[in-house]
Amino acid sequence: MNRLPAWMGALDRKLVRELWGMKTQALAIAFVIAGGVAVHLLAAGMLSSLQETRRAYYERYLFADLWAPTVRAPQRLIADIRAIDGVQAATTRIRVPALFAMEGMSAPATGEVLSLPDVGEAAVNRLHLVRGRLPVAGQRDEAVVLQAFADAHGLEIGDTVPATLYGGRRRLTVVGIALSPEHVYAIGPGQFVPDDRLFGVLWMRRGALAQAVNQDEAFNEAVVRLSRDASEPAVIARLDRLLEPYGAPGAYGRADQISDAFVSSEIDQLATMGRVLPPVFLLVAAFLVNVVVSRLIAVQRAGIGLLKAFGYRDRDIIGHYLKLVAVIAATGVLIGGAAGIWLGRGMAELYMEYYRFPFLLFQADPADYATVIGVAMLTVMGGAALAVRRAAALNPAEAMTPAPPPDYSKVAGAWITRMRVLDQQSRMILRQIIRWPWRAALTVAGIAASGALLIGTLSMMDGIEVMIDSSFNVSNPHDVSVSFVEPRSRAALFSLAREDGVLAAEPFRVVPVRLRHGAREERAVITGAPLDGTLSRMVDTDNRPVQPHPGGLVLSSDLAAKLGIEAGDTVEAQVTEGRRPLLALPVSAVTASYVGSGARMRIEDLNRALEEGALVSGAWLTVDADRTGSLYARLKETPSVAGVGLQAEAVKRLAAMLDENLGRSILTFFLFAGLIASGVVYNTVRISFAERRRELASLRVLGFSRADVSYILLGEVAFLTLLALPLGAAAGAGLAWYLAHAMSSDLFRLPFAVAPATFGMAGAVVLVITVVASLMVRSQIDRLDLAEALKTGE
């Protein structure tokens, strides 16, 4: 730092050398700024990239806007569908449930097989071929496999998949492996969570599939892309009118398409987290930097007096110190900006792999950057400006003479004197804190705030755990759920119950409906379950079971809110399968639950209302984990089984999925919270040291050992840290509460929960950081220049 360019003024040289002299501290401040900035840009870059990538993926691969299932409709209707106003493109296809007997897996894999047009590619929902080719028309047993399923089973081109389609067995040969915008998430009936091994999707040419399932010249699903200004409800109404004679349960849009609903909900969660957390980080970082910078400048008092004595004007001096702070702030913004973009890109790439998007469009919106950088610079410089103005207001003589001893007589002098147990060092610590309550309070606030960030971010994992526990262990404590292709008599339940390894079985009946209340309408599924059943029940957020009254319906609170319904109202339920009766059902209770929306009745009531006899759609089972083999084998053989959900697997998968998805973001935020905490604590200790250098040196000269002197400095920090821990815990709980509310969505409500381990973890991190920062400053205490500290007044 001795060679500086000649054009540089003296004041700027001073600046450069001073910055170099305080590089560790300056970096620590820069890191706090960088933490706030990086978290912001990381979230912004990652989210806009994910959203943009998803949009482009859907666009390029012609993802459908509407799905219109039927039982069996004549192919000629396609012309009428294409003629509907607002339809840009439409295609019909055959979509059939399938069972796959995969090698090396005892549990049955379910899934579906979809038709591709006999020639060329689909006009809607196009595939992205990862390898291989599309099937050749006329080759009966060629199929393309969804990449997730292929990867989970190690399927390669040329391998075969044994499939059961409507009772008929086929061996399908894999000719291609593909991604599909419709199956970003592949999830089966009765499953809560995608499991790549348990749910497969295959595509065959239409002719081959039609022959296999006897749908010649017919289709059972139309998929439609809308033109830009089309009205979705209007097109749905037209489609429904057109397809109703062919057993159509009603067309639905992307909001009800399971894969997109999942992806959207996940990206929404990330977006919410990205909207909620980073401003908190930036605010906390700005506040902390503000505190640190004003103290940093306060210790420059003598230097400021000297400059004024030389004749520098106040504005020169303010400018000089603002430059100092600006360099630090700019360093922080640069580090944060670079880290933010880099990490944002890295995270987006990870999510791209996780969602199996075929490509990634990385997007960093310049407006985001300008805002964040502006906010960071403004808050930091603002804090510095106030402190410099205060310092510059002193007259130079006063500023240069040693500051008069601060007056401790007014505050807490006497009572501390009377406390005989205290030694003088402890008195110094206490008086110091009481004399400068603001300074102590800000230190406590800073440490508490960084602790709160740690707790807040970690608490989301706790909330998710409570949610999983409530929805699986309390609400759905069964091991296996079996759904039939169509409702069957109770005999089917009894035969399941008699299977080897089945310990208990409870039936359920599900029926798709459109719920109407006044002008509002929602698609939903009514689940009928036995009264006092234990294998699946609705519970409220206190995990208390909620039972429907006789003939009545229990609605989840989100569904009730969408329909504007309260307990006691009556809701109209238009059943969309079978005889399609229109039911008027009294709502006996509305309950808040953590996961999903739903409507429940007693199974007898539902069956009575449907007038189809005592039917079951499937069953919930508890099984002996050691004797599942024959049950699974039977299920694989049973053509009437449409889907099998394995709870234990699902819980594991869900936990892993959340870990991978939200967990990754949460870990990143946690690391940044740690970074901010380190910056704050180190600066606090370091500045306390600068402020009290002379006092500490005097003590060393008087014969106090390094340990004694360290006690006075670090004792204060330790004391304040201990004070900050409970405050941080309280603030962290508050932040956790806010995040839980902000993160809750239609699909789930994130419970407010902070596990003791989270408090422990955050506390431990803060303590470790304090110890490390103290050790770093401790080494400076060891190097105190005793003689010099005593010579100068200040």
Partner 1 sequence: MTGSEDKRAPPHPLCFRARGVTRVYGAGAAAVHALRGVDLDLPDGELVVVLGASGSGKSTFLNILGGLDIPTEGEVLFRGEDISRANQHQLTEYRRRHIGFVFQFYNLMPSLTARENVALVTEIAEAPLSPEQALAMVGLENRLDHFPAQLSGGEQQRVAIARAVAKQPSVLLCDEPTGALDSATGILVLEALKTVNDTLGATTLLITHNAAIAAIADRVVIFADGRVREVRENADKRAPGEISW
Whichever of 164 and 432 has its CB closer to partner 1, that residue is: 432
Q: Which two tokens mark 682?
A: 């180190």
Residue with smaller CB distance to partner 1, 352 or 433:
433
What DSSP string runs through 423-490? -HHHHHHHHHHHHSHHHHHHHHHHHHHHHHHHHHHHHHHHHHHHHHIIIIIIS---SEEEEEEEEEEH
Q: Parallel, antiparallel, or unpaired for β 520-529 and 599-602?
A: parallel
Can you tell me which residue has the tokens 């205060």?
A: 390
- Beta strands per DSSP E along 501-654: 502-517, 520-529, 553-556, 570-575, 582-591, 599-602, 615-623, 641-646
Helices (H), 174-231: 206-213
Q: Retrieve residue 764's tokens.
A: 């431990």
SS (H, E, C) 112-132: EEEEECCCCCCCCCCCEEEEE
The phi, psi pair for 696, rounded to 5°, reads: -65, -40
Nearer to partner 1, 281 or 689 (CB): 689
3-state secondary structure of 704: coil
Q: How far is the CB of 391 from partner 1 (least distance, A)?
A: 20
Residue 578 contacts residue 610 (beta carbons within 8 Å): yes
Phi, psi of 598 (to 5 degrees): -170, 170
342 versus 719: smaller Cβ distance to partner 1: 719
Shortest distance, CB of residue 437 to partner 1, whole angstroms? 13
The smaller minimum CB distance to partner 1, of residues 534 and 705, is found at 705
Shortest distance, position 324 Cβ to partner 1, whole Å: 28
CB of 401 to partner 1, least distance (A): 9
The minimum distance between CB 47 and partner 1, in angstroms, equals: 51
CB of 402 to partner 1, least distance (A): 6
794 Cβ neighbours under 8 A, 6+ residues apart: 301, 302, 402, 403, 694
Give the residue from 560, 611, 785, 594 showing the smallest Cα distance to 192. 594
* Residue 663 amino acid letter: G
Q: Cβ 408 to partner 1, closest distance in Å?
A: 5
**Smallest gap, in angstroms, from Cβ of residue 726 to partner 1?**
26
**Residue 455 has which token pair?**
């707790």
CB nearer partner 1, residue 107 or residue 717: 717
Q: 261 vs 394, which CB is nearer to partner 1?
A: 394
Q: Which is nearer to partner 1, 417 or 473 (CB)?
A: 417
The two three-digit tokens of residue 203, written as one number: 């595509």
Residue 736 CB, shortest distance to partner 1, in Å, is 38
Which residue lies nearer to partner 1 by CB, 414 or 625?
414
Which residue number, 293 or 699, has a Cβ lying nearer to partner 1?
A: 699
The whole-angstrom separation of Cα 717 and Cα 592 is 45
What residues make contact with partner 1 under the rule CB under 8 A? 402, 404-409, 413-414, 417, 423-425, 427-428, 431-432, 435, 694-695, 698-706, 708, 786-787, 790-791, 793
Side by side, which strands form the sheet with 252-253? 87-93, 218-226, 66-74, 252-253
CB of 792 to partner 1, least distance (A): 8
Residue 404 CB, shortest distance to partner 1, in Å, is: 7
Residue partners of 401: CB distance under 8 A and separation at least 6:
793
Q: Which is nearer to partner 1, 579 or 791 (CB)?
A: 791
